[in-house]
Structure 1
Amino acid sequence: MSDKFPKLFLVFLGVLFLLNILQSFFTELIYDEAYYWYYAQDLDWGYFDHPPMVALMIKLGSLFFDGELGVRFLSCLFSAGTAMVLWLLIDNPKKLEYQPHFFLLVFSLPLLNAYGFLTLPDTPLLFFTAVFLLIYKSFLQKETAIKAIVLGIIMAAMMYSKYHAALVIIFVLLSNPILLKNKLSWLALIVSLVCYAPHQFWLFDNEFVTLNFHMNERPNQAYSFEGFTLGYLLNLIVIFGLLFPVMYWALFKSKEKDKFSKALRFLVFGFIIFFFISSFNRRTQTQWVVVICIPMVVLAFNFILQEIKARKWVFRLGLVSTALLLYARIGLIYEPLFPVIYETHGNKDFAQRIVDTVGDIPVVFENSYRRPSMFSFYSQNPSYTQNNLFYRYSQYAIDDSEDKIRNKKVAYLSKYYKGKDFEIEYKDGSVFYGEIIDDFKSYRKLKCFLEEDGVAAGDQVKIKVFNPYSFDIQIQELKFYIGFMNAYKQMRESEPLVVDYSSLKSSIPSKDTLLLKTKIPKPKKPEMKYIRFGILENGIYPGINSSPYKFNGSN
Structure 2
Amino acid sequence: MKLVLSALIPLSADEAYYWVWSHKLQLSYFDHPPMVAWLFYAGHFLEPFMNAVRWPAVLLGHCTLGIGALLLKEHFPLEKIRWWMYLVLFSPLLGFGSMIVTPDLPVVFFWVLSLYIFQNVLERKDASSYAALGAALGLGFCAKYHIILFVPCLITYLLFERKWKEVQWRWVPLTIITGILFCTPVLLWNYQNDFASFTFQLKHGLQRDSYEFNWTSSYVLGQIGIIFPWVLWAALKAKLPEKIRYLYYFAWFPLIFFFLTSFRALVEANWPIVALPAVCMLAAYHPKIQKWLRYYVGFWSVIIVVVLTALFVPTIRNSNPKISEPFQFQELSTLAHEYSPLYASSYQMASSLWYFSKIPVFKLQGISRFDFFDTLKESIPAGNHFYLVEHETNGLPEWLSQQQWTHREIKRIAPDFVLLEFTRP
Q: Deviations over 1:290-332 (max 9, x none)?
A: 11111112111122xxx1x331111233133223213323433
Residue 136 to residue 192, structure 1, CA distance change in 2 (3 Å): same
Alpha-carbon distance between aligned partners in 2 of 1:70 and 1:259, rounded to the nearest angstrom: 41
Matching of residue 375 in structure 1 with residue 353 in structure 2: yes
Alpha-carbon offset, residue 38 of structure 1 = 0.8
Higher strand share: 1
Task: Give the letter aligned to residue 49 of structure 1.
Answer: D
Alpha-carbon distance between aligned partners in 1 of 2:353 and 2:234, rounded to the nearest angstrom: 45
1:411 counterpart residue number: 387
Q: Is the 8 A contact 2:336 2:361 kept in 1?
A: no
Q: Which has the larger radius of gyration?
A: 1
Q: Is the 8 A contact 1:384 1:401 kept in 2?
A: yes
Alpha-carbon distance between aligned partners in 1 of 2:204 and 2:300, rounded to the nearest angstrom: 39
Task: Give the letter aligned to residue 334 of structure 1.
Answer: V
1:551 counterpart residue number: none
The range that moved more, 312-321 or 339-348, is 339-348
Alpha-carbon distance between aligned partners in 2 of 1:324 and 1:406, rounded to the nearest angstrom: 48
Alpha-carbon offset, residue 337 of structure 1 = 4.2
Alpha-carbon offset, residue 93 of structure 1 = 7.6
1:402 counterpart residue number: 379
2:233 counterpart residue number: 249
Alpha-carbon offset, residue 434 of structure 1 = 2.5
Aligned partner of 2:191 among 195, 204, 216: 204
Aligned residues: 404
Aligned partner of 1:269 among 243, 246, 252: 252
Task: Give the letter aligned to residue 392 of structure 1.
Answer: R
Aligned partner of 2:301 among 307, 311, 322: 322
- In structure 2, the residue corresponding to 1:110 is in which secondary structure? coil
Alpha-carbon distance between aligned partners in 2 of 1:99 and 1:268, rounded to the nearest angstrom: 17
Alpha-carbon offset, residue 70 of structure 1 = 3.9
Alpha-carbon distance between aligned partners in 1 of 2:344 and 2:212, rounded to the nearest angstrom: 33
Q: Is the 8 A contact 1:180 1:186 kept in 2?
A: no
Alpha-carbon distance between aligned partners in 2 of 1:314 and 1:213, rounded to the nearest angstrom: 40
Matching of residue 27 in structure 1 with residue 9 in structure 2: yes
Q: Deviations over 1:69-122 (max 9, x none)?
A: 343112221222011112222236874346764443222211112332111000
Residue 386 to residue 64, structure 1, CA distance change in 2 (3 Å): closer
Q: Is the 8 A contact 1:364 1:386 kept in 2?
A: yes
Root mean square deviation, CA, Å: 2.5
Q: Deviations over 1:322-350 (max 9, x none)?
A: 23213323433333344524134333112
Alpha-carbon offset, residue 180 of structure 1 = 7.0
Alpha-carbon distance between aligned partners in 2 of 1:221 and 1:425, rounded to the nearest angstrom: 38
Matched-pair identity in %: 23
Q: Is the 8 A contact 1:409 1:438 kept in 2?
A: yes
Alpha-carbon distance between aligned partners in 1 of 2:279 and 2:54, rounded to the nearest angstrom: 25
Q: Give the TM-score of the pair, scaled to structure 1.
A: 0.68
Q: Is the 8 A contact 2:6 2:100 kept in 1?
A: yes
Q: Deviations over 1:5-58 (max 9, x none)?
A: xxxxxxxxxxxxxx1111111111111101101111011110010000000000
1:258 counterpart residue number: 242
Alpha-carbon distance between aligned partners in 2 of 1:188 and 1:370, rounded to the nearest angstrom: 38
2:403 counterpart residue number: none
1:547 counterpart residue number: none
Q: Is the 8 A contact 2:114 2:136 kept in 1?
A: yes
Q: Is the 8 A contact 2:240 2:282 kept in 1?
A: no
Task: Give the letter aligned to residue 193 of structure 2.
Answer: N
Q: Is the 8 A contact 1:92 1:302 kept in 2?
A: no
1:434 counterpart residue number: 419
Q: Is the 8 A contact 1:20 1:117 kept in 2?
A: yes
Alpha-carbon offset, residue 245 of structure 1 = 2.1
Residue 27 to residue 408, structure 1, CA distance change in 2 (3 Å): farther
Alpha-carbon distance between aligned partners in 2 of 1:331 and 1:95, rounded to the nearest angstrom: 39
Alpha-carbon distance between aligned partners in 2 of 1:208 and 1:156, rounded to the nearest angstrom: 17
Residue 133 to residue 87, structure 1, CA distance change in 2 (3 Å): same
1:386 counterpart residue number: 364
Of structures 1 and 2, the one with the larger relative CO (CA 8 A, separation 6+) is 2
Aligned partner of 1:425 among 391, 395, 413: 413
Q: Is the 8 A contact 1:365 1:385 kept in 2?
A: yes
Alpha-carbon distance between aligned partners in 2 of 1:223 and 1:67, rounded to the nearest angstrom: 47
Residue 51 to residue 381, structure 1, CA distance change in 2 (3 Å): same
1:335 counterpart residue number: 314
Alpha-carbon offset, residue 264 of structure 1 = 1.6
- In structure 2, the residue corresponding to 1:437 is in which secondary structure? strand
Aligned partner of 2:342 among 363, 367, 375: 363
1:132 counterpart residue number: 114
Alpha-carbon distance between aligned partners in 2 of 1:372 and 1:348, rounded to the nearest angstrom: 11
Q: Is the 8 A contact 1:413 1:433 kept in 2?
A: yes
Residue 344 to residue 119, structure 1, CA distance change in 2 (3 Å): same
Matching of residue 296 in structure 1 with residue 279 in structure 2: yes
Alpha-carbon distance between aligned partners in 2 of 1:149 and 1:397, rounded to the nearest angstrom: 38
- Unaligned stretches of 5+ residues in structure 1: 1-18, 441-555
Matching of residue 282 in structure 1 with residue 272 in structure 2: no
